[in-house]
Amino acid sequence: MTRPGLVRTRTTPRPTAPRTLLRRVGTAAAAGVLALTVLGTAPAGAPAYAAEVGARRSPIVDGGVVVTPGNFTGYGFDQCLAPDSRAMRTWWNNSPFSAVGIYISGKSRACRNQPNLSKEWVLQQATLGWRLLPITLGPQASCQPRFPRYSDDVRINPKPGKKKDYHKALKMGRAEAETTVADALALGIAEGSTLWYDLEGFDASNTDCRESALSFLSGWTQKLHRLGYVSGVYSSASSGIKALDDARIERPDRFVLPDAIWIARWDGKANTDTTYIRDDGWRPGGRMKQYRGGHDETWGGVRINIDSNFLDLGRGTTARAEKDRCGGTRINWQDYPLLRPPRTKKNGQEVVPDPALVTTLQCLLREKKYFDGDLTGEYGTRTLKATRAWQADHKMPEKNLWSRQHWMSLLSAGSKPILKYGSSGDAVRRLQRALNAASPKATLVVTGVYGPGVEPAVKDWQERIGMEASGVVNKRVWRKLRKGLRS
- Concatenate the DSSP letters of all residues of 345-371 into one string: -TTS-EE---HHHHHHHHHHHHHTTS-
The residue-averaged pLDDT of 254-276 equals 98
Q: Is the confidence at residue 188, as pLDDT, over 50?
A: yes
Give, as one character, the DSSP assignment of residue 236: E
Using omega within 30 degrees of 0 as the cis cutoff, is the peptide bond preceding 18 cis? no
The answer to whether 401 and 338 have CB atoms below 8 angstroms apart is yes
The Cα–Cα gap between 388 and 393 comes to 9
If DSSP states are collapsed to H, E and C, what string results for 252-314?
Answer: CCCCCCCCEEEEECCCCCCCCCCCCCCCCCCCCCEEEEEEEEEEEEEECCEEEEEEEEEEEEC
Q: Is the confidence at residue 252, as pLDDT, over 50?
A: yes
Window from 43-57, 223-237, 443-457 with minimum mean pLDDT: 43-57
pLDDT one-digit tens code per residue, 221-240: 999 999 999 999 999 999 99
Q: Is the confidence at residue 17, as pLDDT, over 60?
A: no
Q: Give the pLDDT score at 480.
A: 97
Strands (E) in 192-265, as ranges, are: 194-199, 230-236, 260-264
The residue-averaged pLDDT of 142-152 equals 93
Q: Give the pLDDT score at 49.
A: 57
Res. 19 pLDDT band, cuts 50 70 90 = very low
Res. 450 pLDDT band, cuts 50 70 90 = very high
Nearest to 258 by CA among 333, 172, 194: 194
pLDDT one-digit tens code per residue, 322-380: 999 999 999 999 999 999 999 887 777 888 999 999 999 999 999 999 999 999 999 99
Q: Give the pLDDT score at 32.
A: 29
The residue-averaged pLDDT of 22-26 equals 37
The answer to whether 273 and 297 have CB atoms below 8 angstroms apart is no
Output 189 or 60, whichever has higher pLDDT. 189
Average pLDDT of every residue of the chain: 89
The Cα–Cα gap between 131 and 366 comes to 37
First vs last Cα of the chain: how many Å apart?
41
pLDDT one-digit tens code per residue, 293-328: 999 999 999 999 999 999 999 999 999 999 999 999
Question: 373: which residues sit within 8 A by CB, 6+ positions away?
Answer: 362, 382, 383
Q: Give the pLDDT score at 50.
A: 52
Give, as one character, the DSSP assignment of residue 400: S
Which CATH architecture does the domain made up of 343-483 adopt?
Orthogonal Bundle (1.10)
- Fold match between domain 18-313 and domain 343-483: no
**Residue boundaries of the structural domains of the chain:** 18-313, 343-483
Q: Which residues of 361-391 are buried (b: 16+ CB within 10 A; e: fewer)?
A: bbbbbbbeebbeeebebbbeebbbebbbbbb
Q: Give the pLDDT score at 344.
A: 81
The residue-averaged pLDDT of 258-262 equals 98
CATH class for the region spanning 18-313: alpha beta
The residue-averaged pLDDT of 144-167 equals 95
The answer to whether 173 and 216 have CB atoms below 8 angstroms apart is yes
The Cα–Cα gap between 461 and 199 comes to 42
Q: Give the pLDDT score at 62.
A: 67
Window from 55-69, 332-346, 375-389, 419-433 with minimum mean pLDDT: 55-69
Strand-strand pairing, 65-67 and 72-78: unpaired
Nearest to 69 by CA among 417, 336, 310: 310
Beta bridge partners of 312: 73, 287
Q: Is the confidence at residue 60, as pLDDT, over 80?
A: no
* CB-CB neighbours of 267 under 10 Å: 13
Q: Give the pLDDT score at 347.
A: 79
Q: What is the DSSP string of 54-107?
A: HTS-SSEEETTEEE---SEEEEEEE-SSPPPHHHHHHHHHHSS--EEEEEEE-T
Output 24 or 218, whichever has higher pLDDT. 218
The Cα–Cα gap between 449 and 424 comes to 4
Q: Give the pLDDT score at 234.
A: 98
